[in-house]
């Protein structure tokens, strides 16, 4: 038995339910037969197993509604016994929800894990008497799938051809002929394709063509990109030569059929083999087929470059490619305005049903990016029976829409299911984007440990799968920086911002705004007023120079408010308050954020919003399970009421559980007296007391001009930290990880430290460190 089947059998014996995901095109009945023959003891649904038997339930999509209900009823009566295997081509089948609701938690298995190893495959070749050279020629098409090789061998024994095999595996073979080429020339071209350069005499002899007949054909092949004209003569494009050699039995390929064949290849192979010189006719047929795959597998920038090299007029005449350009503008280049222009132009034309659905989905995505949630909902509601490539962006957009409409529980369950589905489908862009939205949801709910863990898992996943060029990647760094800043961890935030800024640069100046806002907030935490004044001026200019998304407006708004509060600039604070909307009707999280910002600005300006206006907002945030927003409204209410120690301890206890200091910064001087009362109250819990003391230290400290003065003989606080870590024997990299800064920053600090101490080596630094620390 194959070791993969042994592993599957062990999984069936250990887990109550195994979900075997067989991709589309996989012969599910044959797979069931294979399992039935090799796994023992086993029974096949609808037969009921004995207590020691395994059960296989094949092809869930084939079950009608009555059969599904019968299956669910039978499962509901079963104890959590191991050994039930469900086979389905879709990783997220309709049965998954009811199964999970009944307490079943299926372990996912990909049917491709049942492939042979190299040794197993070669052993099978020997057993079947297959010539190694012949088998190797097919290996890159059939992979290591046992059923594929068995089918291929049957075709050989029946004197069949490759057409039967590849039709079975979901590939459309050559249906159309290159009518302009005579049949003998088609055969001759296939033979000539095996050679590095074109032997014109042999070609003419094989094809029975004269030179006069060949010249227009040669020019046609040159124009189409099949041939390359060089100083030494004509040569074939290497990858086309390889393809023609494989299909010499039926070499009559047209561009559309060739594009179909190439589109079935793994995307890395297409990216690696497509020539640098554009082949317009081929790429017009190919790129529309693989476009969404490129976006899902983080090859969107490569695709954008290929489209940019094609004639603009050709692209405008192809609705599929015009639509693909719009997808790239939204998902890769992050330019929704350009995407909307392309969509408006496209939707004025008569479109096929598939393109119309795709454009409608894209319209929903553009509306979401512009914060037009009602339009997003209308577009999503009109989409039904979507084709497979559109399911991932549809589900992601639907979940994101629910998140910002305040339907957190539904959004959470949908995102969790989407991530699992995308993992099985190897749709890595969707998985990354889904993880990011889930981390955002955890952030608003106040589950900050889960938020941080999810974001860092996303970064690790992107690194492992070489997805650092994915456009959503840099958003993880911004989220982690924001989380650190809310907790007062300026050094950690600096580390995340340094890591993410390089990934934001290709996206343009628009995406630098949140980094500038976060930089201002780190300066506020450190009390570095000199640089802060310059940065705030830049931030204010950018904030009002163009329209940004409402989420960024909220983040920039509270950063400017804190900066103005630090500088005592009440005039600027009033200006900011006048430009901040207050909504009497709350339809989305964006409206709630606007009101929260207006509430803080009013509090800082000395004209706080009345309690009766704040209480409904707190109740609504609680209803939406947006704990982080609800507790801030609660703090705004407490600041206007007489001091009650129990109420303050309850609110501060929630903040202390997350290390959330930012609301107390926003409360400013008004929070000093209540925090002092909490600190003096005998029943104050230790965690609350620590948070209150930390906030008081910050709120009552004098504003420093600069934390470090490199020319001063006294060591700065940061240099004392570095000196202590040198004494412990830590390397620069270890210090950088511990202090959440870049190794280059550590090196700069060490150079300043050495200059102040008048030393040159780390050994001298360690000796001085021990002396100074012992003297303290």
Task: Render pLDDT for 178-208 as a digit per residue (tens, 0 to 9).
Answer: 344 565 666 666 666 656 677 777 778 767 7
Structure tokens at 650: 């309850």
Tokens of 98: 């009811």
Residues sharing a CB contact under 8 Å with residue 373, sequence separation 6 or more, in sequence order: 367, 401, 404, 405, 587, 588, 590
In the 8-state DSSP scheme, what is residue 609? P
* CA 253/CA 265 separation, integer angstroms: 17
* pLDDT at residue 471 in the model: 80
**What is the per-residue pLDDT across 371-428, written as a single tens digit (0 to 9) for each?**
889 999 999 998 888 888 888 889 999 999 999 999 999 999 999 989 988 887 778 8
Number of CB atoms found within 10 A of residue 29's CB: 11
Q: What is the pLDDT of residue 648?
A: 94
Longest CA–CA separation in the chain, Å:
105
* Residue 210, CA distances (Å) to 202, 421, 594 in order: 12, 58, 78
User: How far apart are the C-alpha atoms of 275 and 254, rounded to whole Å?
Assistant: 18
Q: What is the DSSP string of 169-202?
A: TT-----S--TTS-HHHHHHHHHHTTSSB--HHH
Q: How far apart are CA 652 and CA 669, in angstroms?
A: 16
Task: Provide the residue count of the chain.
Answer: 776
Look-up of token digits 């202590």: 724
668 closest CA partner among 596, 594, 613, 602: 602
In the prediction, which pLDDT does 703 show?
45
Highest mean predicted confidence (pLDDT) among 199-203, 522-526, 589-593: 589-593
Predicted confidence at residue 243, as pLDDT, reads: 52
The three-point CA angle 163-167-172 to 5° equals 90
How far, in Å, are 297, 406, 524, 547 from residue 290 at the CA level? Answer: 10, 35, 48, 34
CB 740 within 8 Å of CB 729: no
Tokens representing residue 213 in the block? 């007949």
Q: Give the separation between CA 656 and CA 649, rounded to whole angstroms.
A: 10
Task: Using the Cα atoms of residue 707, residue 710, residue 712 and residue 716 in order, give the sign of their dihedral.
Answer: positive
What's the whole-number mean pLDDT along residues 707-717?
53
Which whole-number Å values give the CA distances from 542 to 241, 285, 369, 565, 569, in the listed order?
54, 42, 19, 20, 19
Structure confidence at residue 248 (pLDDT): 43
Residues 401 and 163: their CA atoms lie apart, in Å, by 45
SS3 category, 278:
coil
197: β partners: 235
Tell me how far apart the alpha carbons of residues 304 and 493 are, in angstroms, rounded to a whole number.
Answer: 33
Distance CA 58, CA 63 (A): 9
Whether 527 has a pLDDT exceeding 60, the answer reads yes
| Mean pLDDT for the stretch of residues 97-111 | 66
Q: Which residues contact 320 (CB under 8 A, 6 or more apart)?
A: 288, 291, 355
**What pTM was estimated for this model as a whole?**
0.62
Burial class (CB in 10 A: 0-12, 13-18, 19+), 510: middle
Mean pLDDT of the chain: 78
- Sign of the CA dihedral with 146 first, then 147, 150, and 156 last: negative
Q: Is 593 helix (H, G, I), strand (E, B) or coil?
A: helix
pLDDT at 306 over 80: yes
Asked if residue 446 has pLDDT above 90, the reply is yes
Give the C-alpha separation, 521 to 536, whole Å. 10
* Residue 54 confidence (pLDDT): 75
Q: How far apart are CA 496 and CA 489, in angstroms?
A: 11
Q: What is the pLDDT of residue 179?
A: 42
Of 23-27, 263-267, 273-277, 590-594, the least confident: 23-27
Tokens representing residue 670 in the block? 């008004």
- Reading the block at residue 188, the tokens are 């001759």
Tokens 């100074």 locate to: 772
More confident: 520 or 511: 520
Query: For residues 648 and 551, which has the higher predicted lDDT (pLDDT)?
Result: 648
- The answer to whether the CB of 662 falls within 8 A of the CB of 485 is yes
| Among 306-315, 502-511, 644-653, 730-739, the range of highest mean pLDDT | 644-653
**Does the pLDDT at position 651 exceed 80?**
yes
- Angle of CA points 42, 48, 52, to nearest 5°: 50
Scanning the structure block, which residue is given the tokens 């797979």?
Answer: 31
Stronger pLDDT, 258 or 566, i.e. the higher one:
566
Exposed / middle / buried, residue 646 (Cβ in 10 Å: 0-12, 13-18, 19+): exposed
Predicted confidence (pLDDT) per residue in 679-696, tens digit: 989 999 999 999 998 888
Number of H helices, E strands in the chain: 42, 7
* Structure confidence at residue 546 (pLDDT): 60
Higher pLDDT: 673 or 262? It is 673
């Amino acid at each position: 038995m194959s070791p993969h089947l042994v592993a599957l059998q062990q999984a069936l014996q250990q887990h109550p339910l195994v979900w075997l995901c067989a991709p589309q095109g996989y012969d599910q009945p044959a797979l069931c037969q294979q399992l039935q023959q090799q796994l023992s003891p086993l029974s096949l649904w609808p037969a009921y197993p004995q207590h020691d038997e395994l059960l296989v339930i094949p092809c869930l999509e084939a079950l009608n509604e009555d059969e599904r209900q019968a299956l669910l009823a039978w499962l509901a009566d079963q104890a959590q016994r191991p050994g039930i295997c469900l086979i389905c081509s879709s990783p997220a089948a309709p049965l998954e929800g009811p199964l999970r609701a009944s307490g079943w938690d299926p372990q996912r298995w990909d049917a491709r894990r049942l492939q042979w190893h190299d040794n197993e495959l070669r052993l099978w070749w020997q057993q079947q008497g297959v010539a190694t050279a012949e088998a190797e020629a097919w290996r890159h098409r059939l992979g290591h799938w046992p059923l594929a090789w068995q089918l291929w061998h049957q075709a050989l024994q029946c004197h069949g051809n490759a057409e039967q095999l590849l039709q079975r595996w979901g590939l459309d073979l050559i249906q159309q002929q290159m009518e302009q080429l005579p049949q003998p020339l088609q055969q001759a071209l296939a033979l000539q394709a095996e050679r590095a350069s074109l032997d014109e005499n042999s070609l003419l002899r094989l094809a029975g063509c004269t030179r006069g007949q060949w010249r227009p054909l040669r020019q046609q092949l040159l124009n189409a990109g099949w041939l390359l004209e060089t100083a030494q003569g004509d040569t074939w494009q290497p990858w086309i030569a390889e393809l023609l050699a494989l299909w010499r039995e039926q070499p009559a390929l047209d561009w559309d059929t060739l594009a179909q064949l190439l589109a079935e290849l793994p995307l890395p192979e297409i990216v690696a083999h497509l020539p640098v010189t554009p082949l317009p006719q081929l790429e017009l047929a190919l790129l529309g087929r693989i476009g969404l795959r490129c976006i899902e597998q983080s090859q969107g920038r490569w695709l954008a470059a290929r489209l940019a090299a094609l004639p603009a007029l050709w692209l405008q005449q192809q609705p599929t490619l015009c639509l693909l350009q719009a997808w790239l503008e939204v998902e890769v280049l992050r330019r929704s305005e350009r995407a909307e222009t392309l969509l408006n132009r496209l939707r004025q034309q008569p479109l096929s049903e598939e393109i119309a659905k795709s454009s409608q989905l894209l319209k929903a995505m553009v509306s979401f990016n512009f914060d037009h949630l009602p339009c997003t909902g209308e577009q999503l509601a009109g989409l039904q029976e979507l084709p497979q490539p559109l399911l991932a962006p549809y589900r992601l957009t639907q979940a994101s829409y629910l998140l910002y409409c305040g339907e957190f529980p539904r959004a959470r369950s949908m995102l969790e299911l989407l991530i699992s589905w995308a993992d099985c489908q190897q749709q890595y862009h969707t998985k990354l984007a889904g993880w990011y939205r889930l981390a955002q949801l955890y952030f608003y709910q106040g589950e900050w440990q889960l938020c941080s863990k999810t974001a860092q898992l996303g970064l690790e996943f992107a690194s492992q799968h070489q997805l650092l060029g994915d456009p959503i990647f840099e958003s993880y760094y911004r989220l982690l920086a924001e989380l650190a800043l809310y907790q007062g961890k300026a050094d950690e935030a600096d580390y995340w911002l340094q890591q993410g800024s390089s990934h934001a640069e290709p996206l343009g100046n628009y995406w630098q705004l949140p980094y500038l806002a976060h930089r201002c907030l780190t300066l506020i935490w450190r009390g570095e007023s000199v640089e802060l004044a310059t940065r705030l001026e830049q931030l204010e200019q950018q904030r009002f120079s163009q329209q940004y998304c409402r989420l960024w407006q909220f983040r920039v708004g509270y950063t400017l408010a804190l900066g103005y509060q630090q500088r005592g600039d009440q005039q600027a604070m009033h200006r900011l308050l006048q430009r901040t909307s207050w909504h009497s009707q709350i339809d989305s999280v964006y409206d709630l954020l606007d009101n929260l910002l207006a509430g803080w600005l009013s509090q800082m300006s000395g004209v706080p919003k009345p309690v009766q206006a704040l209480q409904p907002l707190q109740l609504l945030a609680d209803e939406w399970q947006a704990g982080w927003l609800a507790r801030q409204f609660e703090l705004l209410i407490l600041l206007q009421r007489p001091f009650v120690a129990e109420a303050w301890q309850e609110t501060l206890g929630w903040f202390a559980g997350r290390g959330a200091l930012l609301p107390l910064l926003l409360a400013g001087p008004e929070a000093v007296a209540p925090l002092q009362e909490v600190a003096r109250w005998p029943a104050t819990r230790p965690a609350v007391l620590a948070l209150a003391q930390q906030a008081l230290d910050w709120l009552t400290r004098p504003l420093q001009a600069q934390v470090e003065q490199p020319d001063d003989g006294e060591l700065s606080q940061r240099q004392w930290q570095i000196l202590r870590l040198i004494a412990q024997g830590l390397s620069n990299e270890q210090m950088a990880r511990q202090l959440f800064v870049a190794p280059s920053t550590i090196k700069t600090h060490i150079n300043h430290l050495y200059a102040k101490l008048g030393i040159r080596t780390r050994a001298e630094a360690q000796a001085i460190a021990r002396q100074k620390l012992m003297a303290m």
